[in-house]
Amino acid sequence: MNPSDNKSIKTDQSTLKNVLIIVFSGILGLGIGLYFKINPVPKVLEGISTDKAWSDLDQFHEELLLHWRNAEEFKDKKSLSCLQSKMQRPFLFSDQYLRCNVDFFNCLAQDNNRYEVIFLSQSKDDFWWRLVDKKYKDVGMQFLLKNNCHDVVVSEQNFESVMSNKKLWSFDTFGQKIIVDRYLSFSANDPVQSCKERGKYLFTAQLYDAMSLFPLDVEKKSKDRNYSFYPWTRKKKESFLYKLKIGDYKITEKDCRSAFVKDCNEFYPYKIFASEGTSLYGLGDVLGGPLEVFYNPLEISKNLKLSSFYFEGKSDVHEIGRRSEWDRILEKRQIGFRCFSYY
């Protein structure tokens, strides 16, 4: 082989090596570029990365959800004072009232220095909000809060309702999903319209009875069943209300936990959203407490629950099924209502 041929071969090898280096460098550069396009280096916002800003936002959002559903755990003098300032008139309430309460949630949410919590809109029982970092305006999110903290789901079974002559009307809830407000609402001149705005209906007298009567074996024939028009016992003689009526008993503070009647004011004041008068099905204020208006399709004029804190415990009105007609004259008295939905 000629020396000039060797020189030519070395030159070609060197050229090929340089080409391979250039191609490999290009591929490596393209790969690195693609990697950082897919996984960009976090931008920095005045000393804090966008990843950290979003992480902080998510953490505060989780805190807000707790404020909504477990609000009583975060109450203090400042937040309670804020809530009182939003009330049209002051009233006493239990801690349950703070849950899923838009006004109280707003009081808690605004008590921070970093984020804006803005109410956007309401659709039925859905509340939309926007959460924005005050310093980094591009860091924000919308979130939904549902007003379902006080829902009671009605079981699918046979039920009975009390007619004015104390006869029972039977019905069932099989194949239906019925959700009822556990506690009474008060701030509405038109309860039907108020429920409609929430996509619900005014509670019926029949469902009220069904969720208030002591659970009975409705498979038995009527003549074999023992009825009690008190929510907590099968035997009426065991009820403190019956004992008060026959004049052989003195009411106690413990009794008021079952039905807040007029006599109970000597022990403590009534609070809305309290556990007084809760039936075995989870419905609050079934006896005692405020008057309650509902829809009664079987007896239209019998649409007001009489048992309330306006009557002494010995009164005959303190039985399930004791109803009257809602008269506008009674508006000066505290009258509650509740809503329900079904699917």
- 79 falls within a domain: yes
Residue 285, phi-psi category: left (phi > 0), alpha (psi -120 to 50), beta (remainder) = left
Same domain, 325 and 181: yes
Is residue 12 over pLDDT 90? Answer: no
User: Which strands sit side by side in the sheet containing 323-324, from one edge to the other?
Assistant: 323-324, 304-305, 291-293, 335-336
Domain identity same for 112 and 164: no
What percent of the chain has pLDDT above 70?
80
Least confident piece of the model among 37-46, 54-63, 75-84, 282-291: 37-46
Single residue among 84, 119, 146 that ends a domain in this structure: 146
Q: Indicate whether 16 pLDDT > 90.
A: no
**28 assigned to some structural domain:** no
What is the number of structural domains in the chain?
A: 2
Total residues found in the chain within this entry: 343
What is the percent of the chain with per-residue pLDDT over 90, rounded to a whole number? 59
**What pLDDT is attached to residue 41?**
37
Note whether 112 and 259 are same-domain residues: no
Which of 20, 317, 338 is CA-nearest to residue 204?
338
* Boundary residue ending a domain (122, 146, 170): 146
Q: Which helix (H) or strand (E) holds 62?
A: helix 50-69
| Mean pLDDT computed over every residue of the chain | 83
CA distance 126 to 159: 31
Range of the domain at 111: 48-146
